[in-house]
Structure 1
Amino acid sequence: MTREAADVPQHQHTGLEIAMQWADLPAEHLQVALKALEPQLRREHELRMAEQSAIRQMELETLRAQTRDAAARRSHSLRVVGLVAGFLLSAAMLAGAVVVGMEGHVGLASMLSGPSVLALASLFVLRRSDNAQTRAVARAQAATAQAAAPPP
């Protein structure tokens, strides 16, 4: 076999092309040819269906990957915004506590710089708030208010 013949892909006849070639023959021959051709047509149909199924599966996987990427981006941006908001809120509360404390309002300064800062920071940064944590903040604020009150 020459090199040129090896490089040229051989054309494989489809079932329809074979049927067209047999169309010139008498009906009996055509009937035999169609019976012999039916398995080939079934194989070609199954091949086309398998290819379409593979293409659909690839498209579905691509969509799933895009959805996962979009969800990951949303989750990341939500976490970053929570971190920034928690930092800004904590910094503002601590700055407010310093300003209020300098003016002599010790009770208000202790509320701004006490456990409420930790509770709000954990709410924004960790995205959770426990009942025990809420009760602890309330107890700490009550103790702070009681300690800051003038003696009777």
Structure 2
Amino acid sequence: MSDESLQRSPEEIALEHAKEWASLPAEHLRIAIKALDARSKRECERALKEMEYRHQLDIAGMAAAFVIALAAVGGAIFFGVRSDLWMAAVMLSPSCFVIMKLFITRTASKSDVLNSGAPINAVTQPGSPPPV
């Protein structure tokens, strides 16, 4: 693309294309419209496949987050019954929720990463209260 085509407005470019198309014979226009129709059909099919793929990713992410949530709650109950309250607290810490958010939204922010390590850092820091 030239620099002057980037500086022109979309209306000017469309008008220029319309003038070029107006000079073509009718048979050429029919062929061009058929080609454009086929191209738009392919683009539509590709977009539908992409939407289906994204939907499958969303469902898989929600299923993975559900499994992680069940495992975290189950682990917290297991450690709670065994009177290991520190591990039960770690199992239900923000790190579990950050992992679930990662699977559901497929995005992670810096604050999520910092918050996810806070409970483990609190338990493992020197001078922290000993586990019960």
TM-score between both structures, scaled by the size of structure 2: 0.71
- The residue matched to 2:33 in structure 1 has which SS? helix
Counterpart of 1:88 in structure 2 is 67
Instruction: Note the residue ranges of structure 1 that are not aligned, 5 or more in a row.
Output: 1-44
Structure with the bigger RCO (C-alpha within 8 Å, sep 6+) is 2
User: Cα deviations across residues 127-150 of structure 1 (Å, max 9, x unaligned)?
Assistant: 112222221222233335534535
Report whether the alignment pairs 1:66 with 2:45: yes
Counterpart of 1:31 in structure 2 is none
Q: Distance in 1 between matches of 2:111 and 2:44?
A: 40
Instruction: Note the residue ranges of structure 2 that are not aligned, 5 or more in a row.
Output: 1-23
Q: CA deviation at 1:98?
A: 0.5
Q: CA RMSD in A?
A: 1.9
Report whether the alignment pairs 1:97 with 2:113: no
Bigger drift between 141-150 and 76-85 goes to 141-150
Task: Evaluate the alpha carbon distance shift between residue 93 and residue 102 of structure 1 in structure 2; reply closer, same or farther with a 3 A threshold.
Answer: same
User: Cα deviations across residues 100-139 of structure 1 (Å, max 9, x unaligned)?
Assistant: 2211222221111111211111111121122222212222
Counterpart of 1:133 in structure 2 is 112
Counterpart of 2:131 in structure 1 is 149
TM-score between both structures, scaled by the size of structure 1: 0.63
Q: CA deviation at 1:57?
A: 0.8
Q: Distance in 1 between matches of 2:120 and 2:94?
A: 8
Structure whose CA Rg is larger: 1
Report the identity percentage. 15
Aligned to 1:75, which of 54, 75, 79? 54
Q: Distance in 2 between matches of 1:134 and 1:60?
A: 44
